[in-house]
Amino acid sequence: MTEPPIGDELSELRYEVMYLLNAPDQSIEEFKKIWAGLGDSIVVVGGDGLWNCHIHTNDIGPTIEAGIEVGRPERIRVTDLSEEVMEERWVREAAEVGKIDERVVADEVPCAVVAVSPASGISRIFHNLGVQELVLGGQSMNPSTSELLDAVERAPGEEVLILPNNSNIVAVAQAVDAETSKTVVVIPTISIPGGLASLLGYDPQATAAQNSLTMTELVDGVKVGEVTQAVRPTNTGVGEVATGDWIGLDSDGICSIGSSLTQAATALLEQLVDDHDEILSVIAGDEATDADVRAVTEWMSENRPGVDTEVHKGGQSHYPFFFGVE
């Protein structure tokens, strides 16, 4: 697929505004009409007085004020989309060439992080959470020990953590420590959501051993799931799978089957998310349409209204949805 020129990537609408809105249900139609004049990519889902609201706009103030007029906005988040696009391009190119441009080399730290990432959007998220070096890889393209070693040597720290983010890559990552004079510790992340969650405990000023304890504990507290399409028929504990069926998998294997992506995804969420959970992170792949993402967020609003849902554009292939539940 040919990359669009950078000018095409930059939308005329610069900001993404998201918030939870406490407002009477009868006021939402008028609220949507006001927002329709302020931007696009509008998503307003929820009910019973609580609404998840998302818009791309150039008018941050009026977008928030519209919520104040009908209720009480909270957890307001504003993202500069132009900065995200530029950063995503940098991360994508860094992964493709296997190194970071000299203009943006990270500062030296006691403990750095190398992460394996299957797609540019996921790479951007990893970079935002503190990862200094990225290695392209995933379920169908495992990196070699040599590729991971090169990333470790480039990493700006004498101690380095590796996030393999796939069960097939853990053993390869563990072989790196014997090949370098640096201290290398592998955080045994076997999924992208687990890798992202672990970074919430990363402290670049701490030792690799200290980080390992904190980050591994966070990984253990995350429930993960993914949705993909079956490439061959098989029998499972939840029924027969035909080639082309959509399947939802948790850490124990296949737990949902659907004729459509959203059917398999919501059936997976039915089992993965309970009312005691706090946050669902959705990482949408390149096969997940806006309608698919809306179907997931609307299902969560209707069936798990007490759980916050965060959507990220991962851009990964073969897996339209990665889910992480905390």
Domain ranges within the chain, ordered by starting residue = 6-81, 98-220, 223-325
Measured in degrees and rounded to the nearest 5, phi and psi for residue 322 equal -110, 135
Ranges of the chain whose pLDDT falls below 50: 1-11, 84-104
Q: What is the CATH number of domain 98-220?
A: 3.40.50.510
Task: Give residue 5's pLDDT.
Answer: 36
Tell me the percentage of the chain whose pLDDT exceeds 90.
63
CA angle 21, 85, 157 (to 5 degrees): 105
Task: Give residue 246's pLDDT.
Answer: 97
Q: Which CATH architecture has domain 6-81?
A: 2-Layer Sandwich (3.30)
Please state the pTM of the whole predicted model.
0.68
Residue-wise pLDDT tens digits, 220-274: 999 999 999 998 899 999 999 999 999 999 988 999 999 999 999 999 999 999 9
**Range 175-188 burial, b when 16+ CB lie within 10 A, else e:** ebbeeeebbbbbbb
CATH 1.10.10 given to domain 223-325: no
Residue-wise pLDDT tens digits, 118-147: 988 899 889 888 999 999 887 667 888 999
Closest CA to 324 of 171, 214, 218: 218
**What DSSP line would sit under 92-157, residue for residue?**
HHHHHHTS--GGGPPPP-SEEEEEEESSHHHHHHHHHTT--EEEE-BTTBPPPHHHHHHHHHHSSS
Instruction: Quote the distance between the C-alpha of residue 191 and its chain's center.
Output: 11
CA angle 15, 18, 21 (to 5 degrees): 145
